[in-house]
Amino acid sequence: MQKLVCPTPPKQGINMIQNPELYLIIAGGKIRCRRCKAQSSRTKLQCAKPALKGKVVCQFHGGLSTGPKTKEGKGRIRAAHLKHGEETLEAKAERSEKSAMFRYLTDLGNHCNMFYKKLKTRGRPPSGYTQLDLTDPEQLALAILKTLPNK
Ligand SMILES: [Zn+2]
């Protein structure tokens, strides 16, 4: 006997309606509140209950959920929301490290008169950068060491 295979796995959680009606007027027109934006899986209509305070869904569609508590659950949510990784902490730290390295290289080039005229750097100095006195040989060596990649 052939086993029946579902072509698409069933969706987890609730369906969110694409263009939800945002507000609901209840109590005979006295209260205007946010409407739950969940979509009924049976009727394909928007849920008719008001959303909970500060939430977009009612208590039956996940409004009472307080989110993931465990470390792996939080990691799963973080991975689901990650789009390009340009602003992750690791990417920011690497960018800061590279710009500090570039700043030391610029200082060394200016010190050796390597450029036609002194290069001016703009903006605040990177977080890993400290101004070194390059006439002191010890600090010059330190600046050269800081231009080397860590690996
Ligand atoms: Zn609802």
CA of 26 to the centre of ligand 1 (A): 15
CA of 87 to the centre of ligand 1 (A): 34
- Residues in the chain with pLDDT < 70? 1-13, 151
Element (H, E) at 35: none
The alpha-carbon radius of gyration of the chain (Å, integer) is: 29
For residue 42, the model assigns a pLDDT of 85
Give the distance from CA 137 to its chain's centroid: 43
For residue 2, the model assigns a pLDDT of 57
CA of 82 to the centre of ligand 1 (A): 27
For residue 106, the model assigns a pLDDT of 93
CA of 41 to the centre of ligand 1 (A): 11
For residue 12, the model assigns a pLDDT of 59
CA of 52 to the centre of ligand 1 (A): 9
CA of 16 to the centre of ligand 1 (A): 10
List Cα–Cα distances, 22 to 35, 42, 131, in angstroms: 6, 21, 55
For residue 29, the model assigns a pLDDT of 87
